[in-house]
Amino acid sequence: MHPSQIEHYLTQLLPALGINKQRELVRLLYEIAKRDQLPPSEILPVQKNLTFERAKKILLQKRYPVNFKTARKDQFYLPKLELDPAQEADLTPRPFFPKTVYIETSVKDTPLAQRVRAAFPQAEFKETDGKTQVGSPYFSNRLDTLFIHREKYDFLKPCPCSCGSAGCGYNLINLGFGCRFECEYCFLQQYQNLHAVLLPANVDEFLAKIDGAKFRCGPFDRPRIGSGEFTDSLVFDDLTQYSAQLVPFFRARPHLQFEFKTKSVNIGGLLQAGGCENVVVSWSVNAAPITNLAEHFTPGLTARLQAACEVARAGYRLGFHFDPVVIYNGYQQDYARTVEEMAATLPHDKIAWISVGTLRFSRELKKAIETRFVHNTILDGEFLLDFDGKMRYSPAQRQEVYQFLVPLLRKTFPKAVVYLCMEDPQIAAQF
Ligand code: SF4
């Protein structure tokens, strides 16, 4: 349903509406029409003495059938609907082949720069002092530009988690920015303002910051450090070969744990580097409909689990992240099937941890998702403004997810640490 059709219908139904009131009703009608595949005339039929207040109440009840009675009015977020076709995601499958590669002068002779030159002979190469603005105006074109650079500041930091959430003591090294997958919920589409793939060539300088650094442990026996905040940890590993540097480094430091977080099956580098007990390779897993419909270009669950078995056989430990869990009709059966497939496939004693987190996003990310993926279904749930300013399912809906999934995972994988990610401390304490 195009927003202009909804606007037209509303203008006929309630001709005297001001801009703000019309904006709220257009948003509600649009979201209901998209979710229920109904025309606006069936959602809000012509009726006598209809006022804005009455229309809004009817639409809120239809849009939030579970939470309408219990949510506060200020938890409904009804911004102007601004869909921009120029921003839509390009879902045509294509290999990663940047058109332009920028290489910062200070790293032009590094092995990474040399590998990149050999891998993309048809790309245009440009040397830069690192201050040039690179990348496309559109996030969807980010794969056209690759930037090999020397990271100067952002080496090692505690995971920022979410304001007011129960933290898990995670620590981050940001080896890269940008990803070739297109997960509809990915925060990078709103967060990444430099629309290119950035890969640092000075991993040795990242690693030099680790010895002597103070780390938090959270609920784990050893500090955990990971690399997958602003990219997928392995999606470019055949090119970067970061695993060849990281695995031996952490093998020599058994008091630390390093985590590669991925959805890819790009495990050749890990297999070559040999196994390592304190390196955990973790996969994000989901219900099949979410993987198939909302994690574009990623390998399916079966392929991810096969890759997990291979790295476990090589001597790595495994992690899994049920994140983001999405609520829809029948979601419990689908997530239970994913747990079943994991139980039947994986070596249970190799699983170090499993996290669970429900879908959440900032207000800005909601707008990015709806304009980049106009046919998404992940936004059809009932999201309310929550304790940290993000949009989440209501506490009762989140608790329903955790009451179902956390005991199931603990029963199926009794040796793994199962914990909640970025959750309200009061809810996290119950699990
Ligand atoms: S794999 Fe991770 S970084 Fe890549 S698009 Fe999906 S959510 Fe974003």
What is the chain's Cα-based Rg? Answer: 23
Q: Cβ contacts of residue 152 below 8 Å, gap of 6+?
A: none
Distance from the CA of 236 to the center of ligand 1, in angstroms? 12
Number of domains in the chain: 2
- Out of 68, 86, 104, a domain closes at 86
Instruction: Measure the CA–CA gap between 265 and 230, rounded to whole angstroms.
Output: 18
pLDDT in tens, 251-293: 999 999 999 999 999 999 999 999 999 999 999 999 999 999 9
Phi-psi region of 192 (alpha: psi -120 to 50; beta: other; left: phi over 0): beta
Q: Are residue 280 and residue 381 in the same domain, yes or no?
A: yes
- Out of 86, 117, 136, a domain closes at 86
Asked whether the predicted pLDDT for residue 164 surpasses 70, the reply is: no
Asked whether the predicted pLDDT for residue 238 surpasses 60, the reply is: yes
Q: How many CB atoms lie within 10 A of CB 357?
A: 21
For residue 113, tell me if it sits in a domain: no
Q: Are residue 75 and residue 202 in the same domain, yes or no?
A: no
Instruction: For the full predicted model, state whether its pTM sits above 0.85.
Output: yes
The residue whose CB lies within 8 Å of the most ligand 1 atoms, and thus the one to mutate among 140, 179, 236, is 179
Q: Are residue 365 and residue 280 in the same domain, yes or no?
A: yes
Average pLDDT over residues 345-370: 97
Q: Please report where in the chains the tokens 């031996």 appear, as a residue.
A: 248
- Out of 86, 115, 139, a domain closes at 86
207-215: list long-range contacts, CB under 8 Å, 24+ apart.
207/245, 207/246, 207/249, 209/155, 209/156, 209/173, 210/156, 210/173, 210/249, 210/253, 210/256, 211/253, 213/156, 215/169, 215/171, 215/256
Q: Are residue 170 and residue 65 in the same domain, yes or no?
A: no
Q: Are residue 40 and residue 158 in the same domain, yes or no?
A: no
Instruction: Measure the CA–CA gap between 142 and 79, rounded to whole angstroms.
Output: 27
Instruction: Measure the CA–CA gap between 364 and 385, rounded to whole angstroms.
Output: 12
Residue 132 has what pLDDT? 76
For residue 241, tell me if it sits in a domain: yes
For residue 130, tell me if it sits in a domain: no
Distance from the CA of 358 to the center of ligand 1, in angstroms? 16
For residue 197, tell me if it sits in a domain: yes
Tell me which residue has its CA closest to atom 6 in ligand 1.
Answer: 183
Residue 203 is part of which domain span? 154-428
CA-261 nearest atom, ligand 1 = 2
Q: How far lies 237's CA from each of 56, 139, 199, 313, in Å?
A: 51, 22, 11, 20
Instruction: Measure the CA–CA gap between 343 and 409, rounded to whole angstroms.
Output: 9
The residue whose CB lies within 8 Å of the most ligand 1 atoms, and thus the one to mutate among 90, 172, 190, 231, is 231
Distance from the CA of 360 to the center of ligand 1, in angstroms? 15
Q: Give the pairing of strands 157-158 and 182-183.
A: unpaired
Asked whether the predicted pLDDT for residue 31 surpasses 80, the reply is: yes
Per DSSP, 181 falls in state S
Tokens of 387: 């304790």
Instruction: Measure the CA–CA gap between 351 and 359, rounded to whole angstroms.
Output: 23
Q: Are residue 66 and residue 158 in the same domain, yes or no?
A: no
For residue 11, tell me if it sits in a domain: yes
From the list 287, 404, 426, 278, the residue with the least C-alpha distance to 352 is 278
